């Protein structure tokens, strides 16, 4: 579409909002954009409709069809209401939970949504204030609700907000419900179809009673209470990075028995502006900078951080040189799985039907740990809704131990169905205490895992290709990888190829082709080489980039060999990059 025709379309959509039944604040904002000489903001706000995708809504806040505001949120809630009423005709009182994080407008969007649900005859359990995402998932299950929503944009910058929809098991929706809700939302063509006038009789405030139940459930996860008792004064630096974790994570740590929780006062301040960080993402070193400095000043044992909606966990530990280093998401998942399986085994809890879950791009060392201990492992697509789907399928058949992904999410329980930094923080503190009880630091425990199962290192690389030509180049890159797969990578022969778009797995040496047992297709390719290297390739669904996930393997026989193993892994990663041309 040419710029002139795009601007003409945008002006027409903006005029519809000016003439429509929108509030004055919205109309003033639109008029301001119309009056501006530079029409960039106007175009960005109206050039498309903000899509209700399979993960819900996420976007920059402001007026317009491509922005998060009370009208786009309203259309989503009305569409979800319509779908719930169609899906549960025999339920006397359909009910939902509404949670929200610390972001600007999150409370407003939560209250608007409560009014719309109630106007449609749906009972609403509205949290009285901000709460972690996993607690809202827990509440859906505990209160027997049919659905729920959470207003959050996770770790996105402060300009963003989002809307995540959940089903009756407390998990994010998958097929067919995700696509069906999208269909209902797209049917809403006018804000006059949205029932904004709420029914207060159907809105119930919830809070402390759910908090207490959630904490009591988390307490049952503890596997080493004696180790905690002996190390109750473990020095734990924790930061919520201005988010919802401030409410429950210190409480969960205390419930486990930890008494020496060191906060970062500047970041305990709840704020959607995230004033002390550029990005409130615990994956980024800068977000943990203040907490690490606090740890240095107090000679702490561990640093833990949660993102704004408290579903992701980032940690930092001291290495063998007494330097503070960040532990990546793969290593965090590795520590959880190793500890959980080992303690379940030591306590006689393994009965033969236990399992763990990881995403396909997460470290393969987890698979080795599971296999060696006769625990079944399931691989699933990226995103915690897929881990929750595996839990749902195995309910009443197998016993879930834990599941995680390389992007800093872990779930050590079944009573919530989304990644959970509240229980994960408590469990990671317990792992640190257990390691200390066994004469180890957390870093030494990680080294010992590598000694037992082999060293592994992961590297994520994103190749950006902007614009229409960039999108076409990414499509062509994926076609080339499929039609001309590499025969070797960094000098090691490719022996296995997994194509999740066709759901076919090819054994290169024998030519045997088998079917991958997955619930859906996904545009992901994986190559496995004879030396243990794994390469995953996929286009980003939200950004103009193609992503490469590299995992290389090596040997490490002693703790003293860590640096050499790490250096060798870095060399191998560079060789892989050269082979792939990225």
- Mutual orientation of helices 3-19 and 24-35 as an angle, nearest 10°? 150
Residues 6+ apart with CB under 8 A from 86: none
The pLDDT of residue 292: 98
SS3 content of the chain, % helix, strand, coil (to 5): 40, 20, 35
Closest CA to 102 of 50, 170, 160: 160
Pick the CATH number of 48-206 from 3.30.70.370, 3.40.120.10, 3.30.210.10, 3.90.550.10: 3.40.120.10
User: What's residue 1's pLDDT?
Assistant: 40
Q: What are phi and psi of 94, to 5 degrees?
A: -65, 140
Q: What is the pLDDT along the chain (582 residues), one digit of tens a residue?
A: 457 888 999 999 999 999 999 999 999 999 999 999 999 999 999 999 998 877 789 999 999 999 999 999 999 999 999 999 999 999 999 999 999 999 999 999 999 999 999 999 999 999 999 999 999 999 999 999 999 999 999 988 999 999 999 999 999 999 999 999 999 999 999 999 999 999 999 999 999 999 999 999 999 999 999 999 999 999 999 999 999 999 999 999 999 999 999 999 999 999 999 999 999 999 999 999 999 999 999 999 999 999 999 999 999 999 999 999 999 999 999 999 999 999 999 999 999 999 999 999 999 999 999 999 999 999 999 989 999 999 999 999 999 999 999 999 999 999 999 999 999 999 999 999 999 999 999 999 999 999 999 999 999 999 998 877 888 899 999 999 999 999 999 999 999 999 999 999 999 999 999 999 999 999 999 999 999 999 999 998 666 789 999 999 999 999 999 999 999 999 999 999 999 989
pTM (two decimals)? 0.95
By annotation, the residues acting in catalysis are 154
What the block records as the tokens of 162 is 């989002």
What pLDDT, on the 0 to 100 scale, is given for residue 507?
Answer: 97
Question: Judging by DSSP bridges, how do beta strands 160-166 and 324-327 pair with one another?
Answer: unpaired
What's the rounded Cα separation, in Å, for the pair 336 and 424?
9
Superfamily (CATH H level) for 223-452: Alpha-D-Glucose-1,6-Bisphosphate, subunit A, domain 3 (3.40.120.10)
Radius of gyration of the chain (CA): 25
**What's phi and psi for 480, nearest 5 deg?**
-65, -40
* Cα atoms in the Cβ-side hemisphere of radius 13 Å centred on 463: 18
How high is the pLDDT of residue 233? Answer: 98
The pLDDT score that the predictor gives to residue 540 is: 81
- As a whole number of angstroms, the distance between CA 210 and CA 215 comes to 9
Distance (Å, whole) CA 9 – CA 7: 5
Question: What is the number of H-type helices and E-type strands within the chain?
Answer: 18, 23
d(CA 107, CA 126) in angstroms, rounded, equals: 10
Tokens of 218: 């988390």
Separation CA 105–CA 310 (nearest Å): 18
Instruction: Report domain 455-580's class.
Output: alpha beta
C-alpha distances in Å from residue 28, one per residue of 41, 119, 400, 542: 14, 28, 53, 30
Q: Which two structure tokens, joined as six digits, stand for 438?
A: 């066994």
Q: What is the pLDDT of residue 52?
A: 85
Neighbours of 87 (CB within 10 A): 16
DSSP element (H, E) containing 44: helix 40-46
Whether 496 contacts 525, CB under 8 Å: no
CA distance 244 to 504: 42
For residues 94 and 146, is the Cβ–Cβ distance under 8 A? yes
- The DSSP 8-state label assigned to residue 92 in this structure reads S
Residues of CATH 3.40.120.10 domain(s) within the chain?
48-206, 223-452
Q: Quick one: DSSP state of residue 56? A: B
SS3 assignment for 232-280: CCCCEEEECCCCCHHHHHHHHHHHHCCCCEEECHHHCCCCCCCCCCCCC
In angstroms, the CA 536 to CA 550 distance is 7
Q: Are 246 and 269 in contact (CB under 8 A)?
A: no
The SS3 assignment for 166 reads strand
Domain with CATH 3.30.310 in the chain: 455-580
């Amino acid at each position: 579409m040419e710029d002139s025709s795009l601007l003409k379309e945008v002006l027409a959509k903006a005029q519809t909002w000016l003439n429509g039944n929108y509030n004055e604040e919205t109309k003033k904002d639109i008029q301001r954009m119309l009056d501006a000489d530079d029409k960039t903001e106007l175009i960005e706000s109206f050039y498309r409709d903000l899509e209700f995708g399979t993960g819900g809504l996420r976007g920059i806040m402001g007026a317009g069809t491509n922005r998060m505001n009370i009208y786009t949120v309203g259309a989503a809630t009305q569409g979800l209401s319509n779908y719930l009423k169609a899906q549960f005709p025999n339920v006397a009182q359909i009910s939902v939970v509404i949670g929200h994080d610390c972001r600007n407008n999150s409370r407003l969007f939560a209250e608007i949504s409560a009014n719309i649900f109630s106007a449609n005859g749906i009972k609403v359990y509205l949290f009285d204030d901000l709460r972690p995402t996993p607690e809202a998932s827990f509440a859906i299950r505990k209160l027997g609700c049919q659905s729920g929503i959470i207003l959050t944009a996770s770790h996105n910058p402060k300009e963003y907000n989002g809307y995540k929809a959940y089903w009756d098991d407390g998990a994010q929706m998958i097929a067919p419900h995700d696509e069906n809700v999208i269909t209902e939302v797209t049917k809403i063509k006018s804000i006059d179809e949205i029932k904004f006038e709420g029914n207060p009789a159907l809105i119930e405030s919830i809070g402390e009673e759910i908090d207490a139940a959630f904490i009591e459930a988390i307490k049952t996860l503890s596997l080493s209470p004696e180790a905690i008792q002996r190390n109750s004064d473990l020095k734990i630096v924790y930061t919520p990075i201005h988010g919802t974790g401030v409410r429950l994570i210190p409480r969960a740590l205390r419930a486990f028995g930890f008494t020496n929780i060191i906060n970062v006062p500047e970041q305990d301040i709840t704020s959607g502006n995230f004033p002390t960080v550029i990005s409130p993402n615990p994956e980024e070193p800068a977000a943990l900078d203040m907490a690490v400095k606090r740890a240095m000043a107090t000679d702490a044992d561990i640093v833990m951080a949660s993102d704004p909606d408290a579903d992701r966990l980032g940690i930092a530990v001291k290495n063998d040189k007494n330097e503070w280093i960040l532990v990546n998401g793969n290593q965090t998942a590795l520590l959880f799985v190793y500890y959980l399986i080992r303690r379940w085994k030591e306590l006689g809890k393994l009965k033969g039907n236990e399992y763990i879950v990881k995403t396909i791009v997460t470290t393969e060392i987890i698979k080795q740990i599971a296999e060696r201990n006769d625990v079944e492992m399931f691989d699933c697509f990226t995103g915690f809704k897929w881990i929750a789907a595996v839990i749902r399928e195995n309910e009443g058949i197998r016993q879930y131990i834990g599941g995680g992904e390389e992007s800093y999410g872990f779930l050590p329980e079944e009573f919530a169905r989304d990644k959970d930094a509240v229980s994960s923080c408590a469990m990671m503190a317990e792992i640190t205490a257990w390691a200390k009880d066994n004469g180890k630091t957390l870093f030494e425990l990680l080294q010992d895992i590598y000694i037992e199962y082999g060293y592994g290192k992961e590297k994520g690389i994103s190749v950006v290709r902007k614009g229409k030509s960039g999108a076409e180049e990414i499509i062509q890159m994926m076609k080339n990888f499929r039609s001309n797969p590499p025969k070797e990578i960094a000098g090691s022969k490719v022996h296995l190829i997994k194509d999740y778009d066709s759901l076919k797995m090819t054994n290169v040496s024998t030519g045997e082709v088998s079917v991958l047992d997955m619930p859906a297709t996904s545009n992901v390719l994986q190559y496995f080489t004879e030396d243990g290297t794994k390469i995953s390739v996929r286009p980003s669904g939200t950004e103009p980039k193609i992503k490469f996930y590299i995992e290389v393997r090596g040997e490490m026989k002693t703790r003293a060999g860590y640096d050499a193993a790490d250096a060798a892994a870095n060399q191998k990663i560079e060789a892989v990059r050269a082979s792939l041309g990225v």
